Amino acid sequence: MDFLATALYTDDALLFTGFLHWTGDVLRARGVPVRVLVPCLELLQDDLKDLPRARGFLALGLAGALDGPVARNGSPADG
């Protein structure tokens, strides 16, 4: 939540998606599938239904920040 709040405050999705990517790396290193984060992100989306920017950042996380590098604007990086 701290990374999501900071990303929203600074309007920098990379702060949140970068944290998710790092968390995914930590999970992978411990043999835990990254998909375990998906239910948490979906639950947050449901709880934050009145906050469209927060839901957008969460959607970015669900759409690919867990799988690969992310560009500065929060979208998946090219190549």
Residue in the structure block whose two tokens are 């948490």: 40
The alpha helices in 1-79, defined as continuous H runs, are 2-10, 13-29, 38-47, 52-60
Q: What pLDDT sits at residue 31? A: 94
Q: What pLDDT sits at residue 5? A: 95
Q: What pLDDT sits at residue 63? A: 87
Residue among 27, 36, 24 at smallest CA distance from 66: 24
- Cα gap 79→74, rounded to integer Å: 15
DSSP 33: -
Q: What pLDDT sits at residue 23? A: 92
Low-confidence ranges of the chain (pLDDT < 50): 69-79
Other beta carbons within 10 angstroms of residue 15's beta carbon come to 19
